[in-house]
Amino acid sequence: MIFNSLDFALFLPLVFLLHWFVFARSARAQNFFLLLASYIFYGYWDWRFLFLIAFTTIATWLSGLAIGRSRGNGKKVYCGLNIFVNLSILAVFKYYNFFAREFAAAFLGGNEQNLLLDIVLPVGISFYTFSALSYTIDLYRQKISAAQPLLNVAAYLSFFPQLFAGPIGRAAELFPQYSQKRLFDNSLATDGLRQMLWGFFKKMLVADNCAKIVDLAWADYTTQSGSLLFIAAILYSIQIYCDFSAYSDMAIGCAKLFGIRISPNFKFPYFSRNVAEFWRRWHISLNAWFRDYLYIPLGGSREGRFKTIRNTLIIFTVCGFWHGANWTFIVWGLFHGLLFVPRLLLGGKRKKETDVVAADRAFPSIRECLQIAGTFTLVTIGWVFFRAPSIHDAFAFFEQMLFSGTLLSFPHGIGAGGKILYLFIVFLFAAEWLARRREHALARVPVKNIFLRWAFYFALICLILQYDGGAEQFIYFQF
């Protein structure tokens, strides 16, 4: 079951009504029902993996109890044990075959058949595993006052809006919301619906239509014109942003319907003036996770410039590998890490930019425009490696784009649908620019008349239904 499906359109209203009209009498009842709904939601994809998330939940809860009752080194032992168990499960399902292939290529002449496991990567395992680790580590660090009841831990790890692709839950942020009865907040729920609508626009009108051109270009890139590949590279940058941020918008908006607030996962990253700012705005929950649980424990930026660079490269390499068992992801992560090196070498203490570009102006300055364009270009280069099946394919893609002699030719194969897509992209960035000080583009529609506002929402829904690019699976489901 995915957000952009008819099944979810039937599932969500039913869960919403039951949650507020049948199970609203206590936090325990609300959490029990959300747990039940979440397991139905996850089991709809593959019921067998319910046992896996249940095992992760119980192991995490038991380790929390042990940490709460232990003293001294006992806390560290139980915390480390749960980290080992959860990362071991993730490693088997996500990385075993990758390392088996590399081992076979290095020592067995490529004879890998007897080493590989016939396993399917469970959707969302990277996200709920990191949420589980957050609970254990926050409890060990005493950011959570005491071990939580099993029901709260289970509801926290399986909450269906963020189960498949985040945002990654942080225990210290979410458990206070699971520990008390949630009251219906009409303004919060209304904002949640608006945020979900904007997510549907980004996913179904922009991301899924970009995917058609991007997939066409990558299907046989060696025969495509350089101009089409150039456009495909840009469109993939837009596709992956709209696809992933759309899921986050839908998840955060959906959570608001149930009185649960999740921190933003994106803050208009393509308006960033440098790569450091981009990473403060892109996949915020993952970046904060690596910062708090890996970068700072490694020493962060406190132990000299060399170790700061070392820690930065480690973080980005691990971040790349978190995305998938392929060298392309590692190269993508390392590429972004290397982009930080000149800044770390030359900048010393980095100059603090304001959180919002052109915060007190309608338009950015020429300098800011050049900075934004340069950052987008660097990020787009990285996305080519992220999208490519192999490192060889990534370099061959660049070679065909730049040196085939067709970079300035007219791009064929886009069709009429591509022209409409460009209008959607212009509207996307115009709307997000106007809303760059807010959480999402529809947080405040600048139309005071209620009938005109509803007409705008209705028109947006009609556009989604008319020009839907197809029920494409979310890109981050594979991670």
Give the residue numbers marked as catalytic.
323
- Do residues 127 and 162 lie in contact, with contact meaning Cβ atoms separated by under 8 Å? yes
At CA 117, angle to CA 112 and CA 120, rounded to 5?
Answer: 130
Structure tokens, 61: 């809860």
Examine residue 167 and say whether the peptide bond preceding it is cis (omega within 30 degrees of 0): yes
Using DSSP, state whether 82 is helix, strand or coil.
helix
Please count the CA atoms within 13 angstroms of the CA of 100 that sit on its side-chain side.
15
Phi, psi of 168 (to 5 degrees): -65, 125
Tokens 């119980």 found at: 58
Report the C-alpha gap between 187 and 256 in whole angstroms.
Answer: 10
CA triplet 216, 222, 228: central angle to 5 degrees?
50
Residues composing the chain? 479
Residue 17 and residue 19: Cα distance in Å, rounded? 5
Tell me the C-alpha distance between 150 and 28, whole Å.
11
User: Among 308, 290, 294, which residue's Cα sits nearest to residue 346?
Assistant: 308
E strands present in 301-402: none
Beta strands per DSSP E along 28-91: none
Q: Are 41 and 258 in contact (CB under 8 A)?
A: no
In whole angstroms, give the CA distance from residue 269 to residue 244: 12
Rounded to a whole number, what is the distance in angstroms from the first to the last CA of the chain?
17
